């Protein structure tokens, strides 16, 4: 019997983030050596290495149990195929960018009504149409499969809807970002009817463990007993700290806690102002609750 499978991008902007996540989850894949289907060495899972555009369809028609793809590609597929039931189980916080409207840098933008009657080029016609419908805009959608950013120079369109990261590609083509229509990141998804299976849940637990830890910090400090309530108020996400006695000290505690957010220097300064000493903030590798 073949084991559970995860479709991932073979080569491209998602590859490094996907492989790094899988490694941190303890799912080291074997060397592909040209294979399309590659088993993991330490987990009962096969990786299917394919083009990102094929990932939603491969999961929808059951050739893979789950997939990792950019939310842009998944959303476009869902809008184009409303009968399929795909479900995002986890946002993966890598390959972040945005799907934005852009136009000539000299264009005097006056809100979405500026799009009325215009031509807009994109590789995401369904996402664009949905945006235009939501905003009651009648505009012509020009579908292009690549190099969307040169469409205005070629006279093919007035505006574009495309992925933007640093904005450099827009700038070099005389365009400027006008409006972010969707924030994009890599997502882990499956079919609706498949999302509760033990294999998928076990994988999801691993992703949660690594991503939860990625955003969490373990904080340790020694602090005066009188400051405990105030320290709990200041330090973010810390409802139930562990409070330990200090040998030979009646006036102070050792306080240990997990923070679900970045601890900023300002927070450390406030803690020190409350009398906290020897404050340590350390990364957490894995978490399971
Ligand atoms: O070969 P295959 O079909 O598998 O890959 P692909 O060429 O279709 O996709 P790929 O590898 O380029 O991108 C895969 C996914 O990465 C996208 O679907 C997004 O979810 C995500 N991603 C994150 C990006 C970017 N950032 C990004 N910056 N995809 C594309 N870009 C483009 C952007 O459109 C621009 O043209 O990169 C260019 C540089 O961006 P700037 O703004 O930094 O100049
Ligand atoms: Zn692609």
- Calculate how far, in angstroms, residue 163's C-alpha sits from the geometric centre of ligand 1: 7
Mean pLDDT rounded to a whole number for the chain? 93
d(CA 204, CA 253): 37
β-sheet bridge partners, residue 246 = 249
Q: Which atom of ligand 1 is nearest to the CA of 171?
A: 44
Asked if pLDDT for residue 238 goes beyond 90, the answer is no
d(CA 99, CA 160): 10
- Calculate how far, in angstroms, residue 14's C-alpha sits from the geometric centre of ligand 1: 8
Angle between helices 71-80 and 125-134 (to 10 degrees): 80
Asked if pLDDT for residue 1 goes beyond 70, the answer is no
pLDDT of residue 199: 93
Is the shortest distance between the CB of 148 and ligand 1 below 6 Å? no
pLDDT of residue 265: 83
Is the shortest distance between the CB of 24 and ligand 1 below 6 Å? no
Q: In this structure, which ligand is nearest to the CA of 74?
A: 1
pLDDT of residue 189: 98
CA-closest residue to ligand 1 atom 36: 169
Instruction: State what percent of residues in the chain have pLDDT above 70.
Output: 97
Q: In this structure, which ligand is nearest to the CA of 15?
A: 1
Confidence of residue 66 (pLDDT cuts 50, 70, 90): very high
Is the shortest distance between the CB of 9 and ligand 1 below 6 Å? yes
Report the predicted TM-score, pTM, of the whole model to 2 decimal places. Answer: 0.90
Query: What's the whole-number mean pLDDT along residues 6-14?
Result: 98
Q: In this structure, which ligand is nearest to the CA of 166?
A: 1
Is the shortest distance between the CB of 167 and ligand 1 below 6 Å? yes
CA-closest residue to ligand 1 atom 17: 70
Is the shortest distance between the CB of 78 and ligand 1 below 6 Å? no
Q: What per-residue string of b and e applies to 22-31 under the rule 16 or more CB within 10 Å gives b?
A: bebbebebee
Asked if pLDDT for residue 281 goes beyond 60, the answer is yes
Higher pLDDT, 28 or 7: 7
Confidence of residue 237 (pLDDT cuts 50, 70, 90): low
Asked if pLDDT for residue 236 goes beyond 80, the answer is no
């Amino acid at each position: 019997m073949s084991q559970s499978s995860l479709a991932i991008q073979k080569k491209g902007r998602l590859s490094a983030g996907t492989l790094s996540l899988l490694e941190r989850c303890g799912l080291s894949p074997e060397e592909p050596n040209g294979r399309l289907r590659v088993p993991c060495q330490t987990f009962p899972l096969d990786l299917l290495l394919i083009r990102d555009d094929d990932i939603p369809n491969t999961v929808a028609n059951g050739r893979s149990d789950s997939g990792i793809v950019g939310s842009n590609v998944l959303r476009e597929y869902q809008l184009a195929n409303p009968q399929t039931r795909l479900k995002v189980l986890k946002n993966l916080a890598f390959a972040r960018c945005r799907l934005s409207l852009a136009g000539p840098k000299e264009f005097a933008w006056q809100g979405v009504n500026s799009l009325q009657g215009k031509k807009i080029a994109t590789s995401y016609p369904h996402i664009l149409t949905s945006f235009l419908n939501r905003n009651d805009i009648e505009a012509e959608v020009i579908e292009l499969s690549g190099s969307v950013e040169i469409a205005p120079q070629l006279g093919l369109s007035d505006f574009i809807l495309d992925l933007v990261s640093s904005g450099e590609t827009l700038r070099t083509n005389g365009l400027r970002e006008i409006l972010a229509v969707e924030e994009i990141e890599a997502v882990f998804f499956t079919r609706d009817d498949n999302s509760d299976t033990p294999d998928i849940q076990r994988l999801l637990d691993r992703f949660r463990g690594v991503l939860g830890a990625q955003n969490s910090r373990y904080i340790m400090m020694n602090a005066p007993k009188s400051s405990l309530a105030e320290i709990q108020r200041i330090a973010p996400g810390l409802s139930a700290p562990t409070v330990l006695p200090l040998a030979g000290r009646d006036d102070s505690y050792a306080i240990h806690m997990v923070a679900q957010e970045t601890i900023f220097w300002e927070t450390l300064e406030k803690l020190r102002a409350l009398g906290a000493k020897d404050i340590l903030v350390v990364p957490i590798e894995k978490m399971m609750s």
